[in-house]
Structure 1
Amino acid sequence: MSTISFAIVGCGHIANKHIEAIRNIPNATLAAVCDTNPERLKEYADTHHVRGYLSLEEMLEKETELDAVSICTPSGLHAPLAVQAAQAKKHVVVEKPIALTLEDADRIIQACKDNGVKLSVVHPNRFRPAVMELKKFKDRGLFGKLSHVNATVRWNRNQAYYDQAPWRGTKALDGGVLMNQAIHNLDLMYWLTGPVEEVQAYNATRLRDIEAEDVSVAVLRFKDGTLGIIEAAATIYPKNYEESLSIFGETGTAVISGRTANWIKHLIFEGVSEEETARVIEQVEQDPFGTPGHQHIIADMADAIREDREPLVTGQDGRNALQLVLTVYEAAEKHAPVKWGESKELVSSQQ
């Protein structure tokens, strides 16, 4: 089995998760790191015993055997770097969100398509054991006709968190609680429930000194008539309280929650024995975190390269989650419902 060579662009906090994932995957190797901050670059290069570069251009020029690049920079910088990597014929793993605008998301998707390289977006919550079990029940059709779904993030990101770097909480480079924390839940909601028809929303910046929102509530109508509720907050005192995802259907109910949505709190289906659902709940409780989601994403990219197939979490998946966040933003700004296909951010026919 061939070894897949990765490089990291952006040596911030999230890069550590990528590096750990690469180190824990057989037949994958970390070849280089890149960052515009010389001190931070030296720290990462020395710690991980790899070559370091101050520019992506230099790294792509010198690392000729490189297979894939992980983009771990602030979100507003994803597009130019991902496009540059794709144009150098390198496969691309990009941290969430894929970008901050649909125009930039489409630039990334098109560049990867034009250059024949794979693209995966880091939405690791799909690989939580509880979520994977929920997806199995959904794929079996056991919920029947859905009535509504609910995604909740009640977390704490205090002012010190935003003060760590000047780009945090800015609209140009970062975004707020929807774009940073709740986008994972929105990805799961879209993935499990399907295309959105219309969004109504309120956003506010209540407690943090940032440009973007620290709390948001939204109501969705999906194309099949299912209703959805989003509640996202970075304002919970004094620490993270709850993350949950709930699905309510004609013949089934499921709720996963906890401080992070790693535990199945309620699971019942018509025609499914209590013994079977209890077994699933117990199995998840024995290992609620499972293999880290970043490791799933990186391992899947390596396999996708070897097998010449699409990654499990595609650029379009990342785009869908981004569009949902942006449509919530627009509905809140307009104080009016926004149709999915009429969003001012919609610049692609991809659905």
Structure 2
Amino acid sequence: MKTWSFAVVGCGTVADFHIQAIRELEHARLVMVAGRTEERVRKIGIRENCAWTTDLTEVLNHQGIDIVCLTTPSGTHAFMGVEVLSSGKHLLVEKPLAMTAAEAQQLIRTAEEFRVTLSVVSQRRFEAQHREAKRVLEEGGLGKLLLIEATCPFYRTQEYYDSSSWRGTIEQDGGALMNQGIHSIDLMLWLGGPVRSVFGKTATATHRIEAEDLGLAMVQFESGAYGTITASTSIQPGFQPTLNLYGEKGTIKVQGTSVVHWSAEGYPLPREEEGSTGGGVSDPMSISALYHRLQIADLLEALNTGRKPQVTGEDGWLAVRLVERIYQSSAEGKEITLSDWR
């Protein structure tokens, strides 16, 4: 198998998970790190024994870089991602793919134009309990799907939002739905399929920020099943995200990475994976790098075999589009149906 060369662009907290994942993969090599703060990026470069820069152009022009992991603030994903893709490099973007569905579509079109691969970090799809739940649903193990409940009851302090000027802004960060809740929304779409309509409400309840710290929605899937979404950064002390699947023949309930109920006849309870604890409930750094590694490994396999990665740019677009429609529904005070999605 080819050894793929990486650059990590953005040296904030989440970059460390990408760097650790690359370090642990046999056929991955970190060539360069890039960021705005010279002191921090130089320190990481020395630690990882790789090149470092504060100039994105150096990454774009580097012929020895195959893949860029983009871990910059969310509001920069679209324009920086277009630059990376246009340079002929494959791109793995931290969630969300972009801040608007239109920006996400631009990234998808650029990847197609330059014939490179675009993927977005949705590492929770690679957790054992979610992979097995997907198989159970596809094979009819729960019968007809009735309802999916997804909750993300996190807590963030005001100091967290005050630590960077972009945090909590609509243009650069998004709120509890676009930032923290996007993983739960992605899982809901992955498991439930296309959405027919959505009704949402958002509020800024406990923080001095521009975006929402509380978001709720009810969706109806094309299959006829329903779903509910709750995402917040105001719930003290913070709790693990949950995903509950209710079918006519059984139920699967997941809290964090632990299965708390499994009544899927004929399907054994999946074992919790070693090193999988931590869910960023009240501290965004308290997550495992295991699933970033699994997702990057899948990306490398996809590139080696010519298939699509398990998480595509289109998947990232679907999640962003749904969040957009929740915002639209809340602003207009009505249900948004597929024909209203503009």
Tell me the residue number matched to 1:264: 259
Is the Cα contact below 8 Å between 1:129 and 1:288 reproduced in 2? Answer: no
Q: Which amino acid aligns with 2:116?
A: V
CA 1:165 to 1:24, structure 2 compared with 1: closer, same or farther past 3 Å?
A: same
Q: Find the residue that maps to 1:284 and give its secondary structure.
A: coil
Is the Cα contact below 8 Å between 1:154 and 1:240 reproduced in 2? Answer: yes
Is the Cα contact below 8 Å between 2:218 and 2:227 reproduced in 1? Answer: yes
Tell me the residue number matched to 1:17: 17
Tell me the residue number matched to 1:151: 150
Tell me the residue number matched to 2:281: none
Tell me the residue number matched to 2:283: none
Tell me the residue number matched to 1:348: none
Within 5 Å, give how 1:37-56 maps onto structure 2.
37-56=37-56
Tell me the residue number matched to 2:284: none
Is the Cα contact below 8 Å between 1:327 and 1:340 reproduced in 2? Answer: no
Q: Which amino acid aligns with 2:182?
A: I
C-alpha RMSD of the superposition: 1.6
Q: Which amino acid aligns with 1:293?
A: Y
CA distance in 2, matches of 1:204, 1:163: 19
Tell me the residue number matched to 1:201: 200
> Pick from 249, 252, 260: which aligns with 1:251?
249
Within 5 Å, give how 1:116-155 maps onto structure 2.
116-155=115-154
CA distance in 1, matches of 2:234, 2:84: 37
Q: CA deviation at 1:205?
A: 0.2
Tell me the residue number matched to 1:98: 97
CA distance in 2, matches of 1:42, 1:11: 10
Q: CA deviation at 1:176?
A: 0.6
Tell me the residue number matched to 1:284: 272
Within 5 Å, give how 1:313-324 maps onto structure 2.
313-324=311-322
Q: CA deviation at 1:341?
A: 4.2
Within 5 Å, give how 1:182-201 maps onto structure 2.
182-201=181-200
Q: Find the residue that maps to 1:178 and give its secondary structure.
A: coil
CA distance in 2, matches of 1:286, 1:220: 34
Tell me the residue number matched to 2:305: 307
Tell me the TM-score normalised to structure 1 length.
0.91
CA distance in 2, matches of 1:70, 1:302: 13
Q: CA deviation at 1:108?
A: 0.7
Tell me the residue number matched to 1:295: 293
Tell me the residue number matched to 1:335: 333
CA distance in 2, matches of 1:286, 1:268: 23
Q: CA deviation at 1:185?
A: 0.5
CA 1:35 to 1:285, structure 2 compared with 1: closer, same or farther past 3 Å?
A: closer
Name structure 1 gaps, 5 residues minimum: 345-351
CA distance in 2, matches of 1:121, 1:212: 22
| Percent of aligned pairs sharing the same letter | 36
CA 1:75 to 1:285, structure 2 compared with 1: closer, same or farther past 3 Å?
A: closer
CA 1:286 to 1:104, structure 2 compared with 1: closer, same or farther past 3 Å?
A: closer
Q: CA deviation at 1:287?
A: 6.7
Within 5 Å, give how 1:62-101 maps onto structure 2.
63-101=62-100
CA distance in 1, matches of 2:201, 2:327: 8
**1:244-280 CA deviation, whole Å, 9 max, x = no partner?**
00111111211111xxx211111113xx25xx54xx2
Q: CA deviation at 1:58?
A: 2.1
Q: Find the residue that maps to 2:318 and give its secondary structure.
A: helix
Q: CA deviation at 1:243?
A: 1.1
Q: Find the residue that maps to 2:129 and give its secondary structure.
A: helix
Q: CA deviation at 1:35?
A: 1.3
Q: Which amino acid aligns with 1:265?
A: V
Tell me the residue number matched to 1:212: 211
Name structure 2 gaps, 5 residues minimum: 278-287
CA distance in 1, matches of 2:195, 2:304: 34
Please, which moves more after superposition, 302-311 or 159-168? 302-311
